[in-house]
Amino acid sequence: MSVLEQSPTQPAFVQNPYLFYEAARAASPVHDWQDYNMPAAFTHEAVAALLKDKRFGREIPTEMQSAPAPHLTDFYRIEDHSMLELEAPRHTRLRSLVLRAFTSRRIKGLGPEIERLSHHLIDEMPMGGCDLLPAYCAMVPVIVIARLLGVPEGMANQLLSWSNAMVGMYQAGRTHEDEVAANTAAREFASFMEDYIADRRATPADDLISELIAAEENGQRLTVDEMIATCILLLNAGHEATVHTLGNGVKTLIENRIPVSALQGDAVQATVEEILRYDPPLHVFTRYAYEDVTLFGYDFKRGQQVALMLASANRDPAAWDAPDRFDPSRSVKTNTSFGGGIHFCIGAPLARIEMQIALRVLFERRPKLALDGEPEYADVYHFHGLKALNVTY
């Protein structure tokens, strides 16, 4: 098995990781990635299969579990109850309870509200141009998820600050200071959510937190710790990826001179799926092997962590014709941007409707939208998103 060397923080890689993915895919489905000290699956076939294989999962095998470092205890107190990091039976129970509140009807009902919010944010933009990331791409998803949960949207900037600090734990090259910041954010975030959940217990409202409190299955409800972890997961995941996808999507649409008609009517769904495939916000999702197994020519060992290269799978020519071409008219085929298997992103329907509406409204309201300079990607791998998105209109 070949060994690959590629720093995820190297400037050229940060700006364009797809050349590395292309070379890796052509050589083998799975490689040892030396910089991460783990095997990495690069082809669509391998990534899709491992996402669904129950011999691999998110939860750390029992014999590998250990107490967190003292400066990270608050962060992992939340992670230990997050359904993203759990397997059956705990994951099954938590996801089932959350889905009772996170219904497709509730998500679809947000459409008019997302449209009004998009228009409002555009009305607030300064004349001539701005950085779209903080003015629009970040605000749409964080305000929507805050409203959905029932958290005051006036706290949007604080929620963004906590979330950005926490997701720093998943970025390559994190420092001790980053870890301390993530732990502090987790402690403050958890304290806020605990107080807010207590308020909602006393005074239920028409929001997701109240629904989570009421959700019950086989006589079991979410514990306070599980509810805190779930709300934080929904807030973090509910905006972090969508911010990057909106930013990457606007950049791609402008660079490829895609007409506004591609964002209208039924066409917008295919365009959003192509954005998700072409330049997704999350490039790597990891699993642990739960038994020794040989797949795709690689001998996986129990306890070994595996990197599933989501963005590489989405550019595999074995799955898509001319995959490096952005083509919103291509037939929609399931991509790996939202993961797969039991951990398929629970917020995918929300992310899709936010993107469909926010992109359509933006390009209808700002038909002369143009890039102001060449956007650069930020050094935030495993994520892939822009430093800024300066535009004129």
* Residue 197 structure tokens: 């959940």
Predicted pLDDT of residue 219: 78
Phi and psi at 311, nearest 5°, equal -70, -35
Give the Cα separation of 329 and 219 in Å (integer).
48
Of 356, 366, 343, 199, the residue nearest 285 (C-alpha): 343
* Residue 311 structure tokens: 């963005």
For residue 287, the surrounding DSSP H or E stretch is: strand 284-289
Angle formed by the axes of helices 348-365 and 224-255, nearest 10°: 40
* 292 CB-near residues (< 8 Å, 6+ apart): 299, 300, 301, 302
For residue 176, the surrounding DSSP H or E stretch is: helix 176-202
Of 17, 34, 3, 41, the residue nearest 295 (C-alpha): 41
**Number of other residues whose CB lies within 10 A of the CB of residue 355:** 25
Give the Cα separation of 298 and 59 in Å (integer).
21
Query: Which pTM was predicted?
Result: 0.95
* 33 CB-near residues (< 8 Å, 6+ apart): 4, 6, 39, 40, 307
* Residue 353 structure tokens: 């409707």
Provide the residue-wise pLDDT of the chain in tens; the chain has 393 residues.
689 999 999 999 999 999 999 999 999 999 999 999 999 999 999 999 999 999 999 999 999 999 999 999 999 999 999 999 999 999 999 999 888 888 888 898 999 999 999 999 999 999 999 999 999 999 999 999 999 989 998 998 899 999 999 999 999 989 999 999 999 999 999 999 999 999 999 999 999 999 989 887 777 888 999 999 999 998 888 788 999 999 999 999 999 999 999 999 999 999 999 999 999 999 999 999 999 999 999 999 999 999 999 999 999 999 999 999 999 999 989 999 999 999 999 999 999 999 999 999 999 999 999 999 999 999 999 999 999 999 999
For residue 166, the surrounding DSSP H or E stretch is: helix 156-167
* Segments forming the whole domain that contains residue 180: 3-392
Q: How many helices (H) and strands (E) does the chain have?
A: 16, 11
Give the Cα separation of 78 and 76 in Å (integer).
5
Q: How many degrees, rounded to 5, is the angle at CA 87 between CA 86 and CA 93? A: 90
* 302 CB-near residues (< 8 Å, 6+ apart): 61, 289, 290, 291, 292
Predicted pLDDT of residue 1: 64
The CATH number covering residue 359 comes to: 1.10.630.10
- First-to-final CA distance of the chain: 51
Count how many domains the chain has.
1
